[in-house]
Amino acid sequence: MNIDLSSKTVLVTGGGRGIGAAAVRAFVEAGATVGLHYRADHAAASALANELGDKVVLLQADLAQAEACERLWREAVERLGHVDVLVNNAGVAVGSPNEPDSQTWLSDWERTMAVNLTAPGLLCRAAVAHFKPRGGGRIINISSRAAFRGDQPDYLAYAASKGGLVALTRSLARGYGKDGIAAFIVAPGFTRTEMAQDFIDQYGEDYAVNDIALSRLTEPKDIAPTLVFLASGLADHATGATIDINAGSYVH
């Protein structure tokens, strides 16, 4: 099936690397114009934008700051003209053992929640306000298998934030479906990204491979086609659903 998104504009947060970069590439290949958000790595984001051409618009923001989230949405609408699809992909996974002092643990918790849950909440809120007068739109929130099966003790905040993202997405789907707004959850398992490298370094790649049903770790390119499909409108009656992409390591 060839999906044509040539009439669509998409905002992808965390689009400079990993799952986000694979998503940006896949959306452009399907014809979409993409707002590529990045936080700090301008070189990587710029290199990808230069490779893909004038279908990509670079947008910088630190999503740990609420005002930056709101500015990002305004700039995306201004520079793209409008937004049809929001992909909340940006996230952090901060390892925070229980041993540090309470202030360190709380700081790690608050940063994780700010980026992984508050920022998507603010962007979803802005997207709904933008979508409603336009007759609808689509929101794709990248959660994690950790939202459903939990995570290592060092990553309590990560799992909790991704669980909150699931509840947020389901609420959006239930609340705004009649406004033409569909919302989906994509829940990857362990995926070979730069963000996952700390985990690999700590626990070893064999730990991750032995936890899945397939013979290799999931790559960002294994996730991107599902995002294109969800953005196309062909799956709108699955609004509120979770799509598990975790190589059979957790099925719920």
Instruction: Determine, yes or no, domain membership for 16.
Output: yes
Instruction: Determine, yes or no, domain membership for 3.
Output: no
- State yes or no: is 158 an active-site residue: yes
Distance CA 56, CA 150 (A): 35
pTM of the model: 0.95
Instruction: Determine, yes or no, domain membership for 29.
Output: yes
Helices and strands (DSSP H and E) totals, the chain = 10, 7
Q: Summarize pLDDT for 124-153 with one digit per residue, the tens.
A: 999 999 999 999 999 999 999 999 999 989
Contact 182, 169 (CB under 8 A): no
Instruction: Determine, yes or no, domain membership for 1.
Output: no
DSSP class of residue 142 equals E
Report the domain count for the chain. Answer: 1
Instruction: Determine, yes or no, domain membership for 112.
Output: yes
Distance CA 100, CA 77 (A): 42
Q: Summarize pLDDT for 11-24 with one digit per residue, the tens.
A: 999 999 999 999 99
- Host domain of residue 110: 9-245
Instruction: Determine, yes or no, domain membership for 251.
Output: no
Instruction: Determine, yes or no, domain membership for 40.
Output: yes
Question: Catalytic residue among 158, 176, 203, 207, which?
Answer: 158
Q: Kindly report the CATH number assigned to the domain that includes residue 14.
A: 3.40.50.720
